Structure 1
Amino acid sequence: MHPSPSPSDATPSPAPHAPGNEHAGTPAPLAWKSPLALAALATVALPGLDVWHAFPIRSADGYQAAVAVDSESRQWVVRLPRTAAAGATLEAEVAFLQRLEPAVDSGELPFVVPRVAGSAPLIGGGRAIVYPRVTGNQLRLEAMRPGPGAAASLGRAIAALHSLPLTLVEACGLPVYSAQQHRERRLAELDEAAGTGAIPAPLLRRWESALENVALWRFRPVITHSQLSADSIIMAHGQVSGIVDWDAVQGGDPAEDLAWLVAGAPADCVESIVEAYHMRVTESADRHLLDRATFASEFALAQWLLHGVRTHNSEVVDDARVMIADLVDALEGSDEFDVSQASVTRPAGRERVVGDTGSLPRVDRSAAGRLPTGAIAETGGIPRLRPVSATGDSDEEGGDNAQTVDDPWATLTDLVIPDYSHRRPPQPYADTPTVAFRQVSSSPRSADSPKNTSQ
């Protein structure tokens, strides 16, 4: 969930060039290709593929993506890097997703992830990858309800990811940040944001007080998706059935994957999500998990501001300024970050982060539930584009599974109804006819069928 208005899938904006390893991608940004050109790459990656239709879909900066629909109504995502840095990131992402496959197949992860089916070389270096589209409905936070439904499923899904061994990202050469490194990075970002002059003094003091509380930043690094949003969560029948957009995966603070929910989900749903998370996670409870998630949801506005400054995007800067002002109003002058548990601990000799901020009196925070939604991404991260519905009409109110299909072609492939009495997660892109599946699911379970081992 990102603060700036998102264009439609069909009109992506060009991404700025980001330097990187020249051998891992192209040395300069590629020209934007038509969806049919990307579909042609799919036929190279998958010989014999008969493409009937193609249309563009959203993608992070540095990438371009489209969906190719074949003669059997199957949907294939084609992604290609447009810069050298994106090419290097794509290779690490593909390696990581391949290492996730055993966890998906065994049911250790209760959702599916993209599985690369083939690739096609690009002129100048790098490659485009092709994988079956993870079909389903995108999560709607406003339709979520507390309890054992979608909220609990989301908490279990995030906890399952955080419970995987950190060696999965280390083996792919992806970054891993210790608790101290993570805190130092945020301190550096706060100092840089203060230098822009766009952060009001009360907000600087508030964020400084949070970063000076060393007890708040004691956590065990885990695998984090780092850019979770309603766009990246795929739902089926009120349960999380898939997670996509893994280009920012790394090792770091587990609170980063909960910050977007603290900012945008109903407060009672956050309680259900966190409760299910703690019941599923293998490590002992993190006392300050929600505190850091709240900080990350606020500090995302500073990161959004820095992204606009670094890319010389005045619209992003103006957008960040407006939301920062809204945040100051919502906090009602609170200039110290309150923590939910334990006492505030200060390092010996009070650390100065941004000039002379003066004393930090304790102020009761009464507007925690009124925080505006922030951009949950690393500094310099790229905003996710929000897809629009096929009709452009607003959604009707509904329950947990009242979702919006992001394009009219998403219904071409029959969804496999997940059987949650089994540990094996659903495979939304499997070629299983709906009628045949219903015949199987309607028959009595055999005596030797696997028992329910889900959490």
Structure 2
Amino acid sequence: MNLPVDEMVAILSDAGEIIGAAPRSAMRRDNLRHSATGVLVRNPAGDIYVHRRTPVKDVYPSYYDFTAGGVVAAGEDPFHAVVRELDEELGIAGVELTRLPEGDYADENTTYHAYLYTCVWDGPVRHQPEEVEWGAWMSPAELVAKLDEWPFMPDTVGLLGPYVRSLTINEGWDSHAWIDGPWIHRAARRPEVRPRLLAEATLLPWLAPQLPLPVPVPEPTADGVRHLMLLGEPFTDGDEATGRALGTFLKALHAVDPSEAVAQGALDVETATAAKTLELNDFRTRIVPLLPPDKHPAAYELLDRVARVRTALIHCDFGPEHILVDNGRITGVIDWTDAVIGDPALDLCWILNGAPRAVAAGFVEVYAPTPELIDRAQDWARLSPWYGVHRGLRLDLPDDVENGLRAILNQL
């Protein structure tokens, strides 16, 4: 903030009303409640500008920050203060500002009501020497990692930390992802996952024109792949029209040429069968012995039935978390890392056994699954708790094992 030490600052009540004014030095000395601004600056690639404050700042000297902002002067319009501070601190002017939710912050050093904004800037950054001694662009993922390593302004972290974290995605076991502008980047967490990520960059561009719903179209990057973001939230509810749209989608997916799909990057039958055989054998040797002996025959029969069919290209993890919806309209089907030549009944598992009844009815109307497909989809549903038990055994999570075994017995 470029206000002189004795410039008058508007002072606020706890209710946010202006109740007077005080010199900046008195506001700092007595930690009086005031108004302040903050602008989070991003470039067109989605990176965030991070800077380090100078040692002469009157609060949090030499701390890192990811907003440009400062104190609102007495009689100053808050938006004017936003524009002024952004120009003074980083040399950014004439940019469109997008308003973020206002907030309140208080600690032993500062107490204020915050006017918060974000903007996109693709020009040069000019530091005010008295305010900023270093700055650089960071991706949201890089910034989130630095929040745990560097001393950042606690007020900025408190007010906008959740927003910055929302710009990153953590996809767990196989890969992690983050958002940069309009792009979603994904990188493998383990070396064996990387080839599957790269396979998406050949499979999905070939597959997308054959499908009636949008899918990501990735391209390779130095550490994985990236694709333009598909808008929408994970599926939570729908109607028969939703089901018909999903039926049309899966019918088209399961009709593509399997041999061409393999040529484009899908896991082939032999590789997929070998991997599935290892997994099911582990189920046989580690999980079945934990079940009552009289349940063993039914358990072995279930494992045999799901191991046999490999006839179509399938998504392999087709469920509500991977179906995006916006205003009741399906906007995309995501997460194709496990796409494989396999049993189409696996893709039908959730929609026939877990989706809302109206969605399932619309799906059946269009897809028209055979009785055999319906039975195998139910088998895949029965197998679902086995994966929880398997994970619990590998990671020593006894509660997961106990709960999963109970679910297995209920479904056998």
TM-score tier by shorter-chain length is 0.5 to 0.7
Amino acid at match of 1:134: L
Per mean C-alpha deviation after superposition, the further-off stretch among 90-99 and 268-277 is 268-277
Matched, 1:323 2:407: no
Q: Which runs of 5+ in 1 are unaligned?
A: 1-32, 40-51, 70-74, 122-126, 279-284, 336-455
- Residue 331 (structure 2) pairs with residue 257 (structure 1): no
1:91 to 178, 194, 198: 198
* Deviations, residues 201-252 of structure 1 (Å, cap 9, x unaligned): 4543323334567xx9875611111112211101234343311111111100
Question: Residues 22-55 of structure 1: CA distance to partner in whole angstroms, max 9, x if unpaired?
Answer: xxxxxxxxxxx9734389xxxxxxxxxxxx9672
* TM-score in terms of structure 1 length: 0.49
Cα distance in 1 for partners of 2:164, 2:279 equals 45
Cα drift, residue 190 of structure 1? 4.0
Greater length-normalized contact order (CA 8 Å, ≥ 6 residues apart): 1
Identity of aligned residues (%): 22
State yes or no: 1:64 paired with 2:145: no
TM-score normalised according to structure 2 size: 0.54
Match of 2:285 in 1: 192
Higher percent of residues as helix = 2
Contact 2:199–2:265 (8 Å) recurs in 1: yes
| One-letter amino acid matched to 1:191 | R
Whichever residue aligns with residue 306 of structure 1, its letter is H
Shift of 1:117: 5.4
Q: What SS does structure 2 have at the residue aligned with 1:235? A: strand
Partners of 1:189 and 1:271 in 2: how far apart? 36
Distance change >3 Å, CA 320–CA 286, structure 1 → 2? farther
Aligned equivalent of 2:389 = 305
For the pair shown, the structure with the greater C-alpha radius of gyration is 2
Provide the rounded CA distance (Å) in 1 between the counterparts of 2:294 and 2:361.
28
* Corresponding residue SS for 2:261: helix
Letter in 2 for 1:144: G
Alignment of 1:43-442 (within 5 A): 55-69=167-181, 75-101=182-208, 103=209, 108-116=210-218, 119=221, 121=222, 127-140=223-236, 143-145=237-239, 147=240, 149-177=241-269, 181=273, 188-194=281-287, 197-210=289-302, 221-267=311-357, 269-278=359-368, 286-309=370-393, 312-315=394-397, 317-328=398-409, 330-331=410-411
Cα distance change of structure 1 residues 193 and 274 upon mapping to structure 2, 3 Å threshold: farther
- One-letter amino acid of the counterpart of residue 344, structure 2: P
SS of residue matched to 1:258: helix
Equivalent pairs counted in the alignment come to 255
1:59 & 1:35 partners in 2: Cα distance?
Answer: 15
Deviation at 1:174, TM superposition (A): 3.4
> What 5-or-longer segments of structure 2 have no aligned partner?
1-137, 145-162
- Does the aligned pair in 2 maintain the 1:57–1:65 contact within 8 Å? yes
Per-residue CA deviations over 1:342-377 (Å, capped at 9, x if unaligned) read xxxxxxxxxxxxxxxxxxxxxxxxxxxxxxxxxxxx
What letter corresponds to residue 379 of structure 2 in structure 1? F
What is the distance in 2 between the residues matched to 1:235 and 1:204? 41
Counterpart residue identity of residue 205, structure 1? P
Equivalent residues of 2:213, 2:331 under 8 A apart = yes
Q: How far apart, in 2, do the equivalents of 1:193 and 1:267 lie?
A: 35
Q: Residue 251 and residue 268 in structure 1: after superposition, are their counterparts in 2 closer, same or farther (change >3 A)?
A: same
CA distance in 1, matches of 2:374, 2:256: 21
| 1:198–1:321 Cα contact (<8 Å) kept | no
